[in-house]
Structure 1
Amino acid sequence: MNDVMAELAGEHPQVSFVKLEAEAVPEVSEKYEISSAPTFLFLKNSQKIDRLDGAHAPELTKKVQRHASSGSFSPRSGEHPKEDLSLRLKKLTHAAPCMLFMKGTPQEPRCSFSKQMVEILNKHNIQFGSFDIFSDEEVRQGLKTYSNWPTYPQLYVSGELIGGLDIIKDLEASKELDTICPKAPKLEERLKVLTNKASVMLFMKGNKQEAKCGFSRQILEILNSTGIEYETFDILEDEEVRQGLKAYSNWPTYPQLYVKGELVGGLDIVKELKENGELLPILKGEN
């Protein structure tokens, strides 16, 4: 799909194509309800006008062509005015608290300097978003002038340029890197946030629309019968959460039901609570 995106970007110069790593920018993923990768969002004036979930090249091509021909995207004659490019670069450098402009992606760096930068950031458990400068020549050239820095990779924190690989190596050696760049949340902190994401949280195999095991399907049916609102998390999509939550809650199986961040139990306990008439008060937070 990266190749498809690059081809479409060449065919439709009036459209800005931007790629983000979903896990690196959780606030963006949450805002637009990104539940799988790839997901394609179509925006005009910062407002979502369409979306496509999944790797469907023909459908993506069709949507881009339709919106481009209908004028859904802002038209331009010739090149972007400099003000437009500056504004775009400002938004990109602020897209995540820590942004890395590199050749390739963190999963597939396409130069040794970018690879070394990613290794350093990962070693220090630094949470960062990234932008592949090979995917956009305008950004690749424009950022050099914008930041007055001629080479890549470039690392930004809160929209401010920190520097390239040599600077990052110096900061690592002087122990300053850890104080400058935001850390990725530790697993325990992440699990605490996830279990408290909604008043009633169900960790299951699959989601509300499609349970992927019989136990998860049964617990969904019970919860749906109560009329109580709840959120789900698909543990098949995140191995770290799947394994970590077992130790965090001292509960070895799934599904797991939480109310206000506290474990209620699995399917057997939920069944028992329903039979005893205790489930609804617990879900409402009355017990």
Structure 2
Amino acid sequence: MRARKGAAVMANLVEATSQKQFEEILSKAGSRLTVVHFHAAWAPQCGQMNEVMEELAKEHSSAIFLRLEAEAVPEVSEKYEISSVPTFLFFRAGEKVERLDGAHAAELTAKVRRLAGSGGPGGAAEAPGLEERLKKLVRAAPCMLFMKGSPQEPRCGFSRQLVGLLKEHHVTFSSFDILQDEEVRQGLKTFSNWPTYPQLYVDGELVGGLDIVKELAASGELENICPKEVSLEQRLQAAINRGPVMLFMKGTKEAPRCGFSRQILEILNGTGLDYDTFDILQDEEVRQGLKTFSNWPTYPQLYVRGQLIGGLDIVKELKESGELVSVLRGES
């Protein structure tokens, strides 16, 4: 909700709901930096990054910050190869200039500051002092890891081990590569009174380095103090319960991507009742996981109030028997 509230206040924080609107915003932005957040309502990490976008929009009034629901605009997502959320694309003069995959608040902040400070009228706002910058960085995400390299490519053994521990204990975290910013690298040592890296922060407070995290993991405390990663089962439950009637299909209402999905849409539209859809072509993890979760091997799949109804054949039978509307309303 914070993002929507912010959007009403800040003219440079907007949302697009169609390919046409997305392209119009890019066109009107001209040489201004445009940061596009491909997000999904079911992903809690996207909610966290929306808050980061709000803060960045306040700091960089010359840039445009655009939110786009990846599953709602499949043409755009497919064009830019968006396979997971959150993903951030950076545009200038209508051309993509950079990309960031994942909920890495500190890296997003660093990229925006670097790109907003070049090539556009007005430039970036004056950079805050180092201490203020460090305060923002350590609170950029609920769990922040300052390391050498990235989680995908750690640049030292200690960083590699700490990343491994966090992943093993299913901790959701963002990271900052201190090798990319010498000012942060040196300043954080004094700020935290901790002379080495990696350093782990939770809710803006220093937890410690590798040895401390090892001790917390061994004692079972690590999972209690760090935010937990959302499991596939939790993601599936959230997606299934996103609306009273949920259809998992190939494509969207506007652009179904298979004949079975097209047929079931025609039947559901004929009832006049509201329903939501999920494009399983945009999320391979959900596409494969839901088959096992529901014990139903094909798509489309229809759920009502969190319960599987079935696929196209079942929906056809319900329509022919006159039961479909009452089932969709949860009356039977």
TM-score, normalised by the number of residues in structure 2: 0.63
CA distance in 1, matches of 2:96, 2:182: 21
| 2:58 is equivalent to residue 45 of structure 1 | yes
| 2:117 is equivalent to residue 117 of structure 1 | no
- Residue 81 of structure 1 aligns with which residue? 129
Paired letter, 1:75: A
Which blocks of at least 5 consecutive residues in structure 2 are unaligned? Answer: 1-31, 69-76, 81-88, 99-111
- Residue 104 of structure 2 aligns with which residue? none
CA distance change for structure 1 residues 172 and 108 in 2, over 3 Å: closer, same or farther? same
**1:247 Cα deviation from its structure 2 partner:** 2.7
SS of 1:44 mapped into structure 2? helix
CA distance in 2, matches of 1:217, 1:125: 38
Alpha-carbon contact 1:201-1:233 (below 8 Å) kept? yes
Alpha-carbon contact 2:251-2:281 (below 8 Å) kept? yes
**1:159 Cα deviation from its structure 2 partner:** 2.4
- Residue 189 of structure 2 aligns with which residue? 144
Paired letter, 2:233: E
How many equivalent residue pairs? 259
**1:228 Cα deviation from its structure 2 partner:** 3.5
SS of 2:314 mapped into structure 1? helix
CA distance change for structure 1 residues 87 and 70 in 2, over 3 Å: closer, same or farther? farther
Task: For 1:132-211, list aligned pairs within 5 A.
Answer: 132-211=177-256
For residues 81-111 of structure 1, the C-alpha deviation after alignment (integer angstroms, 9 at most, x for no partner) is: 346414522431xx2x322222333222232
- Residue 176 of structure 2 aligns with which residue? 131
Paired letter, 1:60: K
| 2:151 is equivalent to residue 106 of structure 1 | yes
**1:138 Cα deviation from its structure 2 partner:** 4.6
SS of 1:253 mapped into structure 2? coil
**1:266 Cα deviation from its structure 2 partner:** 0.8
Which blocks of at least 5 consecutive residues in structure 1 are unaligned? Answer: 1-14, 34-39
Alpha-carbon contact 2:248-2:279 (below 8 Å) kept? yes
Among 90, 96, 101, the alignment partner of 1:60 is 96
CA distance change for structure 1 residues 164 and 241 in 2, over 3 Å: closer, same or farther? same
For residues 146-185 of structure 1, the C-alpha deviation after alignment (integer angstroms, 9 at most, x for no partner) is: 3222332222222222111121122223333233323324
Paired letter, 1:27: P
- Residue 120 of structure 2 aligns with which residue? 69
Alpha-carbon contact 1:100-1:156 (below 8 Å) kept? yes
CA distance in 2, matches of 1:107, 1:264: 40
Among 124, 134, 139, the alignment partner of 1:91 is 139
SS of 1:149 mapped into structure 2? coil
- Residue 245 of structure 1 aligns with which residue? 290
Q: Taking every aligned residue pair, what percent have the same amino acid on both sides?
A: 56
CA distance change for structure 1 residues 229 and 147 in 2, over 3 Å: closer, same or farther? farther
CA distance change for structure 1 residues 206 and 21 in 2, over 3 Å: closer, same or farther? closer
Paired letter, 1:149: W
**1:196 Cα deviation from its structure 2 partner:** 0.8
**1:45 Cα deviation from its structure 2 partner:** 1.3
CA distance change for structure 1 residues 227 and 145 in 2, over 3 Å: closer, same or farther? farther
For residues 14-52 of structure 1, the C-alpha deviation after alignment (integer angstroms, 9 at most, x for no partner) is: x9999x9989x932425779xxxxxx9994117994338
SS of 1:170 mapped into structure 2? helix
- 164-173 or 45-54, which deviates more: 45-54
Among 259, 271, 276, the alignment partner of 2:304 is 259
CA distance in 2, matches of 1:17, 1:81: 25
CA distance in 2, matches of 1:229, 1:141: 56
Alpha-carbon contact 1:21-1:130 (below 8 Å) kept? no
Paired letter, 1:143: L
Alpha-carbon contact 1:44-1:74 (below 8 Å) kept? no
